[in-house]
Amino acid sequence: MKKYFVLLFVFSNTLLFAQPPFDDYTGDGTANNPYKLYTKKHLMDLGDSINNSWVPNFSTWHFNKHFRLMNDINEPLTESIGYVGFNGHFHGGGHKINVAIIHDPQINFFYVGSLFPTVTNGGSIDSVIVEGYINGASVGQIAGIAMAITNSGHVNYCINNATITSWSVGGIGAIALQNIGCTISNCINNGDITGVDKIGGIAGQNVGTITNCINTGKITATNSGSNLAGTGVYTGGIGGISGETLNGGQILNCVNSGTIIGQRNVGGITGYSWGIPFPYIPVEITNCINYGFVKGLYQVGGIVGIMSITNVTNCVNVGVVEGEEDTGSIVGKE
């Protein structure tokens, strides 16, 4: 009897780990035959499976599986697709997803203000367009596509057209690229973004690689550079591509044409840029162009507001830059 019980347990858990949570799917989850998603319910079912990969079920059926959106989702999503990390591959097929997400962690701590919560462990999102609005009703991070991108996660060929408001904001990722190997590439933000600090058209904070990305949206920070590091240096900032870029992060071949308005650490590409002193690992900002109007009070630059341990190479600013102190066409302050 004990033997059969063990076999039944193994069989039932194999089903738990191997089967998707919706019964009207087609596809087998491979790259050549992905699970096909047609409805808002399919997206929410996928979100449930992502949540179950955490406690209590620890379901792994979606890990490294492929999903393809087959049409636009016009009925607005009012919550994110899950609230923990997505480890699969979501192919948007160039389709639009309409969102109307209001994130208030005082009501629900796990309620994430983005299309996906985290892209992690080699997961990826590509070719999806987000429309509508995302609003952070309290202090927190908000993004159009993924709140965080960690452990070799990737976001590619995505477009944010949604209006976004919160504390720390990015059009594609809020806290983006937390670990080596993460990328945001070939993405566009067209949405207007408003926040307090660490605000960027593509990412609020970048410690990975952002490449071939464009911002056209108006980016506004009510108190950029508000974080005093304890050494007299105000961290944080606002930029057309990223609010701040840290720890050897890279911004390559990116363009900003949107208006950027903040207080401290305001840049057409990134507001605050700080590499690693020991061992020496600089931030790299290469082949970037700013066409947008950049306005702030202190540390205002057409490419970078304030920087240290940073290489700025082959970058051009043709936008108007206005500031009261430490203002420059390329760099406000080194």
Lowest mean pLDDT among 43-47, 264-268, 286-290: 43-47
For the chain, the residue count is: 334
Whether the CA torsion 49, 52, 58, 63 is positive or negative: it is positive
Exposure pattern of 32-48 as b/e (b: 16+ CB <10 Å)?
A: eebbbbeebebbbbbbe
Strand partners, 85: 118
Q: Tokens 């596809």: give the residue.
A: 27
Phi, psi (rounded to 5 degrees) for 80: -70, 165
Q: What does each C-alpha distance from 86 to 48, 93, 150 come to in angstroms?
A: 11, 18, 10
pLDDT band, very low/low/confident/very high, at 22 (cuts 50, 70, 90)? low
79-134 confidence digits (pLDDT tens): 899 888 899 999 999 999 999 998 776 665 555 678 998 898 889 999 999 999 99
How far apart (Å, rounded) are the C-alpha atoms in residues 48 and 17? 13
pLDDT at 16 over 70: no
165-224 confidence digits (pLDDT tens): 988 888 888 766 655 678 999 999 999 999 999 999 999 999 999 999 999 999 999 999
Lowest mean pLDDT among 13-17, 40-44, 251-255, 317-321: 13-17
Kindly state the tokens that stand for 212: 């071939």
43 φ/ψ sector (left φ>0, alpha ψ -120 to 50, else beta): alpha
Domain limits at 156? 2-333
Q: What is the pLDDT of residue 1?
A: 41
Strand partners, 228: 234
How far apart (Å, rounded) are the C-alpha atoms in residues 52 and 82? 9
Q: What is the pLDDT of residue 10?
A: 36
CB-neighbour burial class of residue 252 (10 A; exposed 0-12, middle 13-18, buried 19+): middle
pLDDT at 137 over 70: no
Candidates 294, 200, 288; CA nearest to 245 is: 200
Average pLDDT for the chain: 87
Candidates 261, 244, 271, 256; CA nearest to 295 is: 261
Count of domains in the chain? 1
CATH code of the domain covering residue 70: 2.160.20.110
Strand partners, 67: 35, 90
Radius of gyration of the chain (CA): 21
pTM to 2 decimal places = 0.91
How far apart (Å, rounded) are the C-alpha atoms in residues 70 and 13? 30
